[in-house]
Structure 1
Amino acid sequence: MDIKSCYIGPEISPEQFIPEHFFLFLAKGILNGYDGSKDVTLRSGDYCIVRKNYLARYNKQTENNEFEKVVVIFDEIFLKQFQEKYQPKTERYKPKEAFILLGKNEHIPAFICSLMPYYNGMGKIEEGIQDTKREELLLILLEMYPDLTGILFDFGKPEKINLEEFMNQNYKFNVGIERFAYLTGRSLSAFKRDFKQIFNNTPSRWLIHKRLQEAHFLIDKKKQKPSEIYVDLGFEDLSHFSHAFKKQFGISPKSLL
């Protein structure tokens, strides 16, 4: 198999909010994923479903300077068309993880190999064949893992959940307040109101404070370098992190090392 990293289906945002389900096959390398509560590691030949309406991030490690993956997007429009065409029986399967690891089966590598004649070498499969191959993959997956229907064909919005628990679990993700509101099943105004009642603070101030408290602990107690942790704590750049840290604690993060 020699297929470079490619995507099949509509483009999705690279942010840490997952807007559509997608299938991920790791051809070469190592991928470490995190969804706020669980760490997941995929190695060459592993594959999984990454669920929409979750917060998740992942980082890659090369093997022999190589990293290759295949991503197939199962967006809602495609899934509704598939459901109308095939009418799969929906199972009641509601795991809480963003990454659904799937057991090994010979049909999946065979499917990946079948993409090679249609691969243009630029990260895409020929448009005319994309939906046909997505249907083929989904039929294979549902034959192997019928429980996936409970995930893929659930088109509802996130339900109202415990805001305090959710924020304490997911504060490290770098997404907007609107995303947090949506994922907790609230309008933006309801989210801000409930947040104020629970934390006695605004979401933006609370997030900065919470992230910086964690940063102080990691640098002071765990002796981790600021450059190694700022991204995982939801900061976009090191200079912004250092400025916010000094403003809160009166010292630079490096002075704790």
Structure 2
Amino acid sequence: MRVHNIQSCHLGPEISPEQFISEHFFLYLLKGSMNAYDGNKQYQMVPGDYCIARKNHLVRYTKYKDNGAFEKIIITFDAAFLQQFLERHPFEKLLPIPRSTDSFVFLPKQQLVESYIQSLAPYYNGQETLNATFADIKREELLLILLQNAPELQAILFNFGIPEKLNLEAFMLKNFRFNVSLERFAFLTGRSLSAFKRDFKKVFGVPPGAWLKKKRLEEAYFLLSKENRKPSEVYLEVGFEDLSHFSFVFKKEFGKTPGEVQIA
């Protein structure tokens, strides 16, 4: 569905530029397609799909343009907004948190959501944001619509707890490819930064920074030599930000450039 006069639109606080979902947000895809990976599961979205992205999850996105355009609507449900919403619309009893650990909760299609998306057009200012006067009103309207059709979302959205302490070894082996800070890793494993570093050294025998670099380089070597992947594809996938830096540390570790390993 193409919404008249809206290309991309954002309501609420900006979401984190990291591969980390710091606040819940509603995502509606207008144009293009998207694949996402959370270390455990792949997700695909096409125009007309919409979902809730759950906070405190690590996710890598790959966006694909359609005729040069990737257009979406993102509406952030940050904790402060959700707490205010709960004060205005209290529940007698919150439903239990679902067992699913999916990073994206896809929602059943309903006409009210489609009509809501269309209703954003008059407030759109062409700068990827809505008029601030109406932003919270429109966010509240959407949340009421979603909860009416999917009441189980209340248990996800109104859970204001912090992550519980997790098995550090299992978590890091699953998520080492994500390019986030040690502070993020510590938070997601239910630890302070100092406790994370201390526990990490006990489990892996080396500091987390050294382990992450070596583990990512070993993963890159496998992808290049065994799956014949290109260096320009691999460096982001294994958690490096810059291709030239990746090439430098790769050669320092293995004595060959990524390109030499690929064609060997």
Equivalent residue number for residue 76 of structure 2: 73
- Which of 216, 220, 225 aligns to 1:220? It is 225
Q: Is 1:232 aligned to 2:237, yes or no?
A: yes
Mapped to 2, the partners of 1:152 and 1:68 lie a distance apart of 25
Q: Is 1:51 aligned to 2:54, yes or no?
A: yes
RMSD of the alignment, in Å?
A: 1.0
- Which of 12, 22, 32 aligns to 1:9? It is 12
Q: Cα deviations across residues 36-68 of structure 1 (Å, max 9, x unaligned)? A: 111101000000101111111212111233321
Equivalent residue number for residue 186 of structure 1: 191
| Structure 1 residue 12, shift from structure 2 partner | 2.5
Q: Is 1:23 aligned to 2:26, yes or no?
A: yes
Q: Cα deviations across residues 100-119 of structure 1 (Å, max 9, x unaligned)? A: 11121111111100000000
| TM-score for both structures, normalised by structure 2 | 0.95
Mapped to 1, the partners of 2:231 and 2:22 lie a distance apart of 30
| Structure 1 residue 186, shift from structure 2 partner | 0.4
Mapped to 2, the partners of 1:179 and 1:66 lie a distance apart of 32
Identity of aligned residues (%): 55
- Which of 168, 171, 177 aligns to 1:166? It is 171
Matched AA of 2:148: E
Equivalent residue number for residue 90 of structure 2: 87
Matched AA of 2:78: D
Q: Is 1:108 aligned to 2:113, yes or no?
A: yes
Moved more, 141-150 or 93-102: 93-102
Q: Paired residues, what number?
A: 257
Equivalent residue number for residue 203 of structure 2: 198
Q: Is 1:241 aligned to 2:246, yes or no?
A: yes
Mapped to 2, the partners of 1:67 and 1:180 lie a distance apart of 30
Mapped to 2, the partners of 1:182 and 1:161 lie a distance apart of 10
Q: Cα deviations across residues 206-232 of structure 1 (Å, max 9, x unaligned)? A: 101111111001000100010111011
For the residue of structure 2 that corresponds to 1:146, the secondary structure is coil
Moved more, 102-111 or 159-168: 102-111
Mapped to 2, the partners of 1:185 and 1:226 lie a distance apart of 34
| Structure 1 residue 16, shift from structure 2 partner | 1.1
Equivalent residue number for residue 33 of structure 1: 36
Matched AA of 1:152: L
Moved more, 9-18 or 128-137: 9-18
Mapped to 1, the partners of 2:162 and 2:43 lie a distance apart of 25
| TM-score for both structures, normalised by structure 1 | 0.98
